[in-house]
Chain A
Amino acid sequence: MLFSYPGMFIPAIFILLLIILAILLLAPFNLSLDLGKKGPLIWGSIRLAWLGIALRKVEISPQSADELLASIRKEKTGKEDRAVDENKTTGKEVAAATEKKNEPGGKKGREQDEKELDGKRERREKGEPTDATRHPSISSLIDVAPPLAKILWDLLRSIRFKNSSCRLCFGLNDPAQTAIISGYLWFLASALGIFSANISINPWFDGERLEGELIAEIEARLLSPVFAVIKALQVREIRLLLKEMLGWT
């Protein structure tokens, strides 16, 4: 019925898009963490969900730290091997392209490359920023620090910790160091505003030890980061820093 009137079609699409955007911004992302270590055993699960749909799920079945490290190392070696294979293939492609350039018809390409290189060299000699030298100046970073800190604080406040509990028992080879680190951890928990009955940090003074459990449900909406970006772009110092980093100044 709604689409039977031609004039209603565009507003209906617009409203539909607004609804989709509102859902995207307001529906919270949930990150569930359940990590633990007892004796030599390590277990855990990490789950990222949106609107009840699991976007990413990682499960670590109870296994010893050595086994876990071995599996990570194995995965890493596998990735490296794959990268080497890919490099070999790309190398062949590059060699083919170079051969093409060296052909009489590829003269134009070579001249263009040489021109680009000369331009870069000249800019470097004049002290002008090239692609690799677009670092912000220290004074811009200092100027931008207070508004950036405020925005980051707003962003952090938008993250909600639900049902979080942390139990940690640790010991270093020096009891004095153990006590000092324990003090630092309590300070950190207090500074982050998570000083509650659900947190237990117990120092172990009879040798090295690390045991504990972390259960946390973190909720965050996309609305806050989007607002934070808009707010950041309204600040002159941040705009200037971005322009400087992009090489627009």
Chain B
Amino acid sequence: MNDTTNVGTRFDRLPATADDRCVEGRATRREVLRWWDERFGVDPEVFEAYSFWERGAGKVWAFHGDLDSPVDVEGLGITFLRTRQEHWKPTLSAVQRFGTYARKNCIELTETEARRFFTGEDQELDWDGDWGYLVVTHELAGEQEPLGVGLYVHGELRSMVPKGRQRDLRE
């Protein structure tokens, strides 16, 4: 094991830029901020007080604050983004926590659609925007609230709600 390999059991802070990268394939802070900005229109300033960490291959965590890297702990902030794959994928936790800052690629569901979505069902829906991962919202207590991550392809919104988080709220 040397400094250029990802160690799956500890937290390593993401390098600021590609020039600072020692571990092959590791996302950089700049790339992460750019991805949230380009995909969802989230202003990078939203994450100014956050540090980003990789633990597990490609699994990026967001922590409010900073610590010396690497750090040997069981958890650091919340899971945030899945990298090391062609299409990066935000986590449900990240979308529920930061999705209110998203300005694009957000799809609003009706009550019935939202219930189906959170049960884990895929559904055919109209969507004029980009294919790919969307922030799924519905109305709660008078405002649109981010509920989770959907994957829109071929006229269908696929529910990305992890099995352990799914709940049957259908009447």
User: Are A and B associated in one complex?
Assistant: no
